[in-house]
Structure 1
Amino acid sequence: MTPSLQSAIDFIQSCETPWSRDTSAPWGIHDVDPAPYNRLYGPVHGRGPVSGIIYHKHQLLAAWGEPRKSDLTFSVAKTYLALLAGVAFDRDLLSDVHEPVIAKCPGIGFEGERLSRITWHHLLQQTSEWEGTCLGIPEQVDRYRWVSYQPGQADGKKGDARPLGEPGSRFEYNDVRINQLSLALLHLFKRPLPEVFEESILQPVGCQDPFQWQGYEQGWTQVAGQRMMSVPGGSHWGGGVSISAMDQAKIGLMLMGNGQLNGKQVLSHQWLEMMQQACDIAPYYGYLIWLNQDGQLFKDAPRTSWFAIGAGSSVTWVDPQLELVCVMRWIDAPKTNDCIAKVMQSLSM
């Protein structure tokens, strides 16, 4: 390991999140929700230390912390839902992302003149303006939400009853709508999503560490006459994905390879290209990934980089042009760009 790379890792490890390691306060993001939804509905567990992995040109350059520990990854699970949508696309279960969701998933909350126009494309770009309650939580809880990587600022208070527009008219980072996407994918596959994810993504890329994707206490639903858990697309209210940094990096290598890893085409080139297309009204966002095409997200990252990001904070950084995959977990979110700058400096030495 070069001195510059060691210096970068030392710096990253000095940027530990203020979140406690044992789930005592502060822990999670549900606390800022309006009552009575400022609570956990699913399990959480204590976190590990600052951990991470760097692969460059398919070579493992560095690993630090506890890279094999299965840790909560919060909204990186959103990106995993996008990968599941890609599996459905490649299997022709979801042949047209611009088709209204209700066409294949009737009876789960897309009825009505406006909601029936919501497409998979809208849900994947977080522009659906879907209205309703999913897994016992109304989507109004996350209206006016503004996350740290999103340019601009909110024009109202989180949880207020913002008037809703046409599908596709507004980007809003809304975890209840993400859970509604997860419910729709469950009805599309008619199989528990964690099973599909393990079979279609984790096993083909060689993931070996413990993995779980847990739901809420009220997440059981009937699908094709069977009782199945509808898992959330994150850990906002608990549950969600627990996975190791090493396995996240393996998924990142597959994404860096345009859907291919170890000679296996896990996802199609076409789907990976669709994921990276910038949203018209939110050019920093694709299909449940963060884009850096104009440098607004992280000024010291290349414009070719894109990211899966979760609270806490957890970052999977993918850059196909640099042939780089970097996973950083439990870092202080405001210092993310500084950590990126250190990694970029180490690669240039």
Structure 2
Amino acid sequence: MRTTINKIKTPTFSILFIVALIGCKSGNKEPIKDTQNVTSLNVLSEVVDSINSDINNGDYGLINRFMVIRNDELLADFKYNQDYESIVKKYDTTNHQYNFNNTDWHPYYKESELHTLQSVTKSITSILFGIALDLNDDYNVSNKAMPLLSGYNTDFPDKRKQNITIEDLLTMRSGLQWNEETDHNDTTNDCFRLESSDNWIDYVLSKPMDTIPGTRFVYNGGGTVLLGKIIRIITGKRIDHWAEEKLFEPLGIGDYYWKETPDGEIDTEGGLYLKAEDLAKIGSLFLNKGNWNGKQIVSKRWVTTSTSPLLKDIKPQWRSVTGYGYQWWIPEYSENGKTNIYSANGYGGQYLMIAPEYNLVIVFNGWNINDEPEKSTYRVLQDRIIPALKYK
């Protein structure tokens, strides 16, 4: 869990302009040229400046970072300073890694530039699972999950649990009874209970079944915890070490933090911290179908499948109708299943949003956990940026 390497200071920009290459090129191809580049940049500049103005006016609540990358070039990068020390004085700030109002842990890790990603962690866990399957032909998404969890009691009275596959976990259709759609501080919320338990995997495995695996979407971070453990079983490495070797080092990500659970595992459902510019690298990797500077980090097939609407027209309580892939959200897709936008989403306003048609990657870090803002950054790409480019 590196926390002190390659600390890069990124300046704040008040207008849109090209400042640097993000560092990823798709194999031997040249970056895609926009035939109306000047007009497109002008339109993008206007809408991004407008969004920045609204953020400064407080319309989007507590936002810490807003980045725009197009054709692998960093076009805009805005930082916003928020006085969290003053904001959280009225809340309990017990020094615990899962107290979301403790400023040692949230939204930044111990005064560093590492920002909590919350459930964006799930999407990165999915990437790491894809790499593990790419490199090991003995396993695939059709494998049953329970036989892989050696060392745990998996002799369940309800035999439906034995039929949960890896793909069921990836698509949140495990069939486990799980409630994660209430406030995180609700003591009946399974995520709250999971994070308060001494053994996370035992907690997840103890949950009863309420439906047949593979039949119904239920948002469930516990399933992602099981995926993290299965990665360790497949690779022989704890996921943070696997990530460092197979994803972070190839992408030049040297500074990160990943929460450790009481039983010595890693929080794969919400515990990763990255700098915004490193999260943007993950977006560029996927925009380029898993290729980074000519090296295939994760297979094109895994990227395509993960970001396809395998599940359609699902409606989680806190989000509008959307599609879902392998731990990735697909908020906009065509009737024939073509993905127009996909995203990794996290509690408090962590968004990595990608629009392949426009070669766009958008990054937001925020921390709206106590009050709901007037506008949501989750809708920025879909409602403001793409419409402006489409009708330029």
Matched, 1:52 2:90: no
Task: Give the 3-state SS of the residue equivalent to 2:344 in structure 1.
Answer: strand
Other-structure match for 2:278: 247
Once the two structures are superposed, the pairs formed by residues 36-51 of structure 1 within 5 Å of their partners are: 49-51=63-65
- Alignment of 1:61 with 2:75, yes or no, is yes
Q: CA deviation at 1:188?
A: 2.6
Q: Aligned partner of 2:328: which letter?
A: I
Q: How does 1:155-166 map to 2 (within 5 A)?
A: 164-166=210-212
Q: Equivalent pairs: percent with the same residue?
A: 21
- The count of aligned residue pairs is 280
Structure 1's 167 and 109: CA in aligned 2 closer, same or farther, altered over 3 A?
Answer: farther
C-alpha separation in 1, matches of 2:381 and 2:357: 19
Instruction: Check the 8 A contact 2:142/2:166 in 1, yes or no.
Output: yes
Correspondence for 1:118: 164
Q: What residue number does 2:343 align with?
A: 307
Q: Which residue of 2 aligns with 1:232?
A: 268
Letter aligned with residue 77 of structure 2: A
Structure 2 SS opposite 1:284:
strand
Q: How does 1:167-316 map to 2 (within 5 A)?
A: 167-208=213-254, 210-216=255-261, 218-220=262-264, 229-234=265-270, 240-280=271-311, 282=314, 284-294=323-333, 303-316=339-352
Matching residue of 1:71: 115
Are the equivalent residues in 1 in contact too, given 2:225–2:269 (CA < 8 A)? yes
TM-score normalised to structure 1 length: 0.70
**C-alpha displacement at 1:345, in angstroms?**
4.8
1:335 to 1:244, Cα distance in 2 relative to 1, 3 A: closer
Structure 1 portions without partners, runs of 5+: 20-48, 132-139, 148-156, 221-228, 235-239, 297-301
Provide structure 2 residue ranges, at least 5 long, that are not aligned to the other structure: 1-16, 18-40, 82-111, 191-206, 315-321
User: What is the alpha-carbon distance in structure 2 between the residues aligned to residue 204 and residue 9 of structure 1?
Assistant: 31
How do 1:12-51 and structure 2 match up within 5 A?
Answer: 12-13=51-52, 14-15=54-55, 18=61, 49-51=63-65
Deviation of 1:110 (Å)? 4.3
The CA RMSD measured in Å over matched residues stands at: 3.1
* TM-score normalized with structure 2 length: 0.63
* Residue identity in the other structure for 2:213: P
| Corresponding residue SS for 2:340 | coil
Tell me the equivalent position of 1:128: 174
Counterpart Cα distance in 2 of 1:245 and 1:284: 25
Post-superposition shift, 1:53? 2.0
Q: Which residue of 2 aligns with 1:97?
A: 141
- Residue 94 of structure 1, CA deviation: 5.8
* CA offsets 1:222-275 (integer angstroms, 9 cap, x no match): xxxxxxx332311xxxxx011011111111111011110211100011211221
Shift of 1:207: 2.4
Q: For the Cα contact (< 8 Å) 1:73–1:243, is it kept in 2?
A: yes
With over 3 angstroms needed to count, the CA separation of the structure-2 counterparts of 1:335 and 1:323, relative to structure 1, is closer
Counterpart CA distance in 1 for 2:135 and 2:289 is 17
Q: What is residue 361 of structure 2 aligned with on the other side?
A: 325
Matched residues in 2 for 1:130 and 1:163: separation?
Answer: 4
Secondary structure class of the residue paired with 2:272: strand
SS of 1:242 mapped into structure 2 = strand
Q: Secondary structure at the match of 1:169?
A: coil
One-letter amino acid matched to 1:167: P
CA contact (8 A) 2:125 2:268 kept: no
2:171 maps to amino acid: Q
* Mapped partners of 1:6, 1:168: distance in 2: 44
Q: CA deviation at 1:87?
A: 1.1
User: Which residue does the alignment assign to 2:130?
Assistant: 86
* Greater Cα shift, 281-290 or 82-91: 281-290
1:343 aligns with 2:382: no
| CA distance, structure 1, for counterparts of residue 208 and residue 164 of structure 2 | 18
Indicate how the Cα distance of structure 1 residues 64 and 93 shifts in structure 2: closer, same or farther if over 3 A, else same.
farther
